[in-house]
A and B are shown apart, each in its own frame.
Chain A
């Protein structure tokens, strides 16, 4: 029983963490080696691709996608896709894909004279299902050791924490003013009413408990 509870908890935690890790912006310090575009036929990885450029037709089975090829300071490669998110999810409102591709191409540099840049992106690179992080912006920086403070993430996560706290306060107020007085009025019959108002966990564990083996007579 305890294992079921913890498995579900950990699963939820991993999902929430994964969601934010995928969606929130991150900065990579890289040197741009080249840029290219390639026709992509979307398959089982289609949810990891964004939308066609804002204003173009949607729903096609394939289209050309911009890519930015980069080398990290440790020498390993990293490839970004460069797509509009438009007004859909995730809410970056990115419409300047072609401009970004132009900037990235302009910042190309060779191994001997590296021009280090910071690429803001969201998403994951995964070779098994051919998915790429989506580049959002590119900025020139002085060197590969620059420290970047993730202000945007700090602001977003703080705002989210405040919103969740507010939601919890609203729920507590609703309970205190609207549910609890009713339960108190019910008096004798309150046992059954309280049974319905019990938490999700209490009900789930109660239900799972009915499956447990009964002691033999």
Chain B
């Protein structure tokens, strides 16, 4: 039991760090894409406003919500592995 709790606590801390890193990376990728699109195709209007609008869309997007899978997938993997090694 103590081993399970230890794995849970340290796993949660590690996955939280991963979650933040992936979130920052994903935002950065989207912002760069918007900047490049404005620089190469649009070129008219307010650049900052265009990028801010794009980032607002990103905040509501499915892509951002999918980052929560960082917490879901490892838990599912551990449960499946435990079942396979012990009960199959």
Contact = CB atoms under 8 A, between A and B. Distances in A.
Interface of A: 51, 54-55, 58, 86-88, 91-96, 99, 136-137, 169-170, 173-174, 177
Given A87-B7, A170-B25, A173-B25, A55 B1 contact: yes
Given A170-B25, A173-B29, A177-B32, A86 B85 contact: no
6 contacts: A55-B1, A86-B3, A96-B86, A136-B85, A173-B29, A173-B32
Interface SS of chain A: loop
The 7 closest A-B pairs by CB, nearest first: A87-B3, A87-B7, A93-B82, A96-B86, A86-B3, A170-B25, A87-B4
A93 B2 contact: no
A102 to B, nearest CB: 13
Interface residues of B, number: 18
Interface in B71-88: 78, 81-82, 85-87
Given A55-B1, A87-B3, A137 B25 contact: no
Contacts of A99: 86
Contacts of A170: 21-22, 25
B20 to A, nearest CB: 11
Nearest to A94: B85
A54 B28 contact: no
B6 interface: yes
A128 B7 CA distance: 33
A60 to B, nearest CB: 14
A54 B86 CA distance: 12
B3 A88 contact: yes
